[in-house]
Chain A
Amino acid sequence: MSTPGAKRSLLPRMNVALVATTGVCLLLYLVAGLRFHQFFSGKVLLDLLNDNAYLGICAVGMTFVILSGGIDLSVGSMIGLVGISSAVLITNMGWHPLPTFLLMLLVGATFGAAHGALVRWFELPPFLVTLAGMFMARGLALVISQESVTVRHPWYSQVADYRLPIGPGMAPPAILLLLTFAVALYLGTYTKFGRNTYAVGGNENSALLMGLPCGATKVWVYVWSGFCSALAGVVHVLALPGGDANAGMGLELDAIAAAVIGGTLLSGGVGHVGGTFFGLIILAVIQTAITFKGNLNSWWIKIAIGLLLLVFILLQRGIQRRAERK
């Protein structure tokens, strides 16, 4: 495997999936743009980013977890927990939003650390640990408040109404989404943490034999995912003016779908955060197009996403098989 030939064949293998995703993404966008009036406008594009910002941020954390060979099912309920707790802290307890949001990010990272610790030291399956985390976060959110709480605070409104002067004005959720992707691209490509994540997901035994800190990497991956999902919760609070304990129900699956459509292999080790961005846009375009069409019902979204997942998984499988045969 250490021959230069094998090395070269690995790169195209990753690229084929990425190219396919980008191609489908552009094609969908083009088709939707030609079918629907005004789909090409900057406003629709910005809305696309804005409305799906929290999903995208979760998907970033999810991509890292999947790359490490794990999975994080708790991201959706973390949005509910962060949303309702920050709304209650700001509105009912009179906290300033900034320390509240920082505390929430800390809570998210701590939750992630707990997942990582259980996965690392007790060798429990990630799927089960984060499932418990999902119940825990959703349960705590419901314990805090079952009714949604609106946030009213001058600083908060100022931030939520801020627009970066790009096109018709970019709102904070879209800005945070792009920032998160930028940080994740850097983390995944240029840092030890990123390379360790790929190594652990690719082949844990080899990584261990090479002397890489597998255990620590596993913990950090979940900390990062917990942080991302808490950030997504904050974004959700900014987008909706308020928090709801039931927010983000089932979001974990959309996040996984975005990563998978983006070319990340669920077996770990192969994939790219950039692909996840295009996966996110594909999901977003499908949803927007179906709402644009109007007479198509919402269940078609589910069926379309299911079909798309199938196509991409089969594609990945084909690429993998070809690589194995070599």
Chain B
Amino acid sequence: MLRKVPPGVAKLIWPLLALGVVLLYDVFYVPGFFHIEVRDGHLYGSLVDILKNAAPFALLALGMTLVLATKGVDLSVGAVMAVSGAVAAVLVTRQNPPPIGVAFGLALLAALVCGVWNGALVALLDIQPIVATLILMVAGRGIAQLLADGQIITFENKTFAFLDGGFLLGIPVPIFIALAALLIVGALTRMTALGLFIEAVGDNPTASRYAGVPTWLVKMMVYAVCGVCAGVAGLIATSSIKGADASNVGLTYELDAILATVIGGTSLNGGRFFLMGSVLGAVLLQTLTTTIQTSNIKPEYNLVVKAVVIVVVCVLQSEVVRRKLAGLRRGGAQ
């Protein structure tokens, strides 16, 4: 019976279970958690908030998933968020601002350049991903501050603010953006051979190179996609405070993104990835945060709870425990 479950779905069981536990807690201890109301044709409520606030994390996690699948890691996503936010904010606050589309386009182009830079260091110069992306993580925030001249650039731009605060069909816009990204990345990787190449490169780069997979190109692409995802997340984050705060936007988000991805079942050892799992991981993390914010637990406990969840989920997913569990199951059947 168990064998018939496809691996992608089986991997979703732990995060789903964890999400279920948190939501169950909310049923009993957080009054009104599941209350959703329609105000001015817009949906409001904790659940809607969770999905909306999880959107930037989900975007980062999508890019991170592909990078982790090639056995890499991208520590610079938080800094790239700052760069793209700063570029967009500088452009829309100019004396004669370009059309908003151009501003967004240039911001995403900057994010793409950041991603390609990371990709080049990893794929062409063969530098370890942690180190390669550490450079941009340190310098990127400096560049963003340089662009913004050390100021927090605030702006009044309706279209820009719409990115985070707007509603489509009563549902917050960030949810649509994250869903669109999931669909695009999913289609790119699961309907073309790219997904297979990514897994091959993560599993065994030498073997896949001999099999004719352009290893360097695949690596470049995943870092580029990760950069663009971070750029979009940066635009949303900048839009939500109507300002570009280069030193604080996306701070420690890289860790949350990695966390969401790992909770979703993508291994840090590369070779497999689960996009749905990563998005679910992001939602789980945000559900935890929102639960802590809305219940009687002091907000200071947020980090402690997060740490406990990471350790428990990771221990449960570790090979060692899996082997033990498999042993138990076999033992029981005999």
Chain A, 115-149, CB within 8 A of any chain B CB: 118, 121-125, 127-129, 131-136, 138-140, 142-143, 146
A102 to chain B, nearest CB (A): 25
> Contact mask A243-254 → B, CB, 8 Å, 1/0?
000000000010
CA distance A317 to B122 in the complex (A): 11
A138 in contact with B303 (CB, 8 Å): yes
Extra contacts, 6 of them, besides A129-B314, A131-B258 (Cβ < 8 A), are: A124-B318, A127-B268, A138-B303, A299-B146, A302-B138, A306-B140
A297 in contact with B301 (CB, 8 Å): no
A121 in contact with B255 (CB, 8 Å): no
User: How many residues from A make CB contacts under 8 Å with B?
Assistant: 43
Chain A, 233-278, CB within 8 A of any chain B CB: 253, 256-257, 260, 266-267
B311 in contact with A118 (CB, 8 Å): yes
A-B pairs with beta carbons under 8 Å apart, 17 shown: A122-B315, A122-B320, A123-B320, A125-B269, A128-B268, A128-B314, A129-B311, A133-B307, A135-B304, A136-B307, A136-B308, A139-B307, A253-B134, A253-B138, A306-B136, A306-B139, A309-B134
For A254, the closest partner residue in chain B by CB is B138
B310 in contact with A140 (CB, 8 Å): no
Residues on A with C-beta less than 8 A from B93 are: none
B137 within 8 A of A: yes
B126 within 8 A of A: yes
Given A131-B255, A297-B150; A267-B128 close (CB under 8 Å): yes
A296 to chain B, nearest CB (A): 11
Given A309-B135, A313-B132; A142-B311 close (CB under 8 Å): no
CA distance A30 to B130 in the complex (A): 32
For B314, the closest partner residue in chain A by CB is A124
B302 within 8 A of A: yes
CA distance A139 to B305 in the complex (A): 8
Main secondary structure of the interface of B (DSSP, over half): helix
A309 in contact with B138 (CB, 8 Å): yes
CA distance A127 to B298 in the complex (A): 28
B303 in contact with A302 (CB, 8 Å): no
B131 in contact with A142 (CB, 8 Å): no
A135 in contact with B135 (CB, 8 Å): no
User: How many residues from B make CB contacts under 8 Å with A?
Assistant: 46
CA distance A135 to B304 in the complex (A): 6
A300 within 8 A of B: yes
- Name the one of B145, B262, B298, B308 contacting A143, with C-beta atoms under 8 angstroms: B298
For A138, the closest partner residue in chain B by CB is B303
- Name the one of B73, B125, B139, B298 contacting A302, with C-beta atoms under 8 angstroms: B139
CA distance A297 to B246 in the complex (A): 14
Given A132-B307, A139-B306; A71-B314 close (CB under 8 Å): no
Residues on B with C-beta less than 8 A from A134 are: 255
A19 within 8 A of B: no
CA distance A266 to B127 in the complex (A): 10
B108 within 8 A of A: no
For A245, the closest partner residue in chain B by CB is B300
B42 to chain A, nearest CB (A): 34
- Name the one of B126, B143, B258 contacting A317, with C-beta atoms under 8 angstroms: B126
CA distance A305 to B302 in the complex (A): 32
A44 within 8 A of B: no
CA distance A122 to B311 in the complex (A): 11
